[in-house]
Amino acid sequence: MTDPLLTIAAALNWGQKQLTHSDSPALDVRVLLCFALEKPDSYLYTWPDRAIEPQQQAVFVDLVARRAQGEPVAHIVCQREFWSLPLMVNSSTLIPRPDTEVLVEQALMLASDHPMLRQAGVLDLGSGTGAIALALASEWPHVRVTGVDVKPEAVELAQCNSNNLKLGNAQFKQGSWFDPVAGQKFALIVSNPPYIDADDHHLTEGDVRFEPLSALVAKEKGLADLAFIATQATEYLLANAWLIMEHGFAQGEAVRNLLTQNGYCDVNTVKDYGGNDRITLGKWNP
Ligand code: GLN
C-alpha cells in the first residue's frame, strides 16, 4: 500500500483484508486507523473520501502489520474502554473484558443500599488496570474503593488510570490479596482473579497469548485463587456485605459450593452477555 492518495474508505478496506485471523477485522481496523490519524471514529464516517497523508499511511500500515501478527488492538493503541471509561492498558496485566461489566452491574445492584458503604468502602482484589475499582468509584463518588494487586506495574497503571479519570476516591495498593488491608472490614468485596487451568487450550489462542499468565492461570483447575478469596473474605466483610467474583464458564457450580461451604447465604450465579455462567455472589451473614 504505497499510494499517497489512499482514501479512508480504501484504507479500511485494505486493512480488513490483512486481518484474516482476527475475530473482528472491521472493528480492529477502524480503531487502528483512528489511532494513526489521531481522530475519533466519527471522522472516518464523515470523510470516507479524504486522502490520508503518506506519513500517517505508513504508521497505519505498521499498526495493521502488528495486529496481523496477533498483537491485541488494546496493546497497540495502549487503551481499552471499560464501563465507558478510557483505560490505559499494557502487558503487565489483563485487558479489561466487556463481560466483566456484569460484575460491576451486580455490585451496583446489590451493594448500593449497604448502610456502611460510605464509611467502610469497597475492596477489589487483583485490580489489574483498575477497571472494576474505577467503574465502581465513578458510580459511587462518595465511596472509597481500594484496589489491591501483587504486581507493582499493575498498581502503577491503575493509579495512572485513576489520576487520568480524576477518581480520587479510588486508591491502589501493592500486595498479595488481603495483605495490604489487614484488619479492615468492607461493605463489598469484588474480584476478577486468575481462574484458568494451566492446560486450557484458550491460553495459546488470540489476545490471551499476550497477557501475563499470572493474571490468568490458577492452580487446582483454576479454582485455587477463587477458593482462597472465598475463605479469607469472611474476615474482611461486614455483616450483610457481598462477595462477588468472576470465574470461568464451567466453574459456576464449584464457586457456589465454595461460598456455601464457607457460610455465605443468598449464593447465586449470573450469566455474562454470551449466556455463560460468569459471576457468582454470596452475602456474608455470620
Ligand atoms: N475471562 C478471561 C478469559 O477468558 C480470563 C480472566 C481471568 O482469568 N480472570 O480470557
Identify the pLDDT of residue 14.
96
- Verify whether ligand 1 is closer than 6 Å to residue 97 (CB atom): yes
> How many angstroms separate the CA atoms of 11 and 64, rounded?
10
- Verify whether ligand 1 is closer than 6 Å to residue 67 (CB atom): no
Identify the CATH class of 8-70.
Answer: mainly alpha
> How many angstroms separate the CA atoms of 74 and 59, rounded?
16
- The gap from C-alpha 7 to its chain's centroid, in whole angstroms, comes to 34
Q: What pLDDT, in 10s, does the model give residues 97-141?
A: 999 999 999 999 999 999 999 999 999 999 999 999 999 999 999
Q: Which three cell numbers stand for residue 266?
A: 443468598
CATH fold label, 91-284: Rossmann fold (3.40.50)
pLDDT mean over 44-69: 96
pLDDT mean over 180-197: 98
Residue nearest to atom 4 of ligand 1 (CA): 248
- Verify whether ligand 1 is closer than 6 Å to residue 194 (CB atom): yes
Q: So where are the chain's domains?
A: 8-70, 91-284
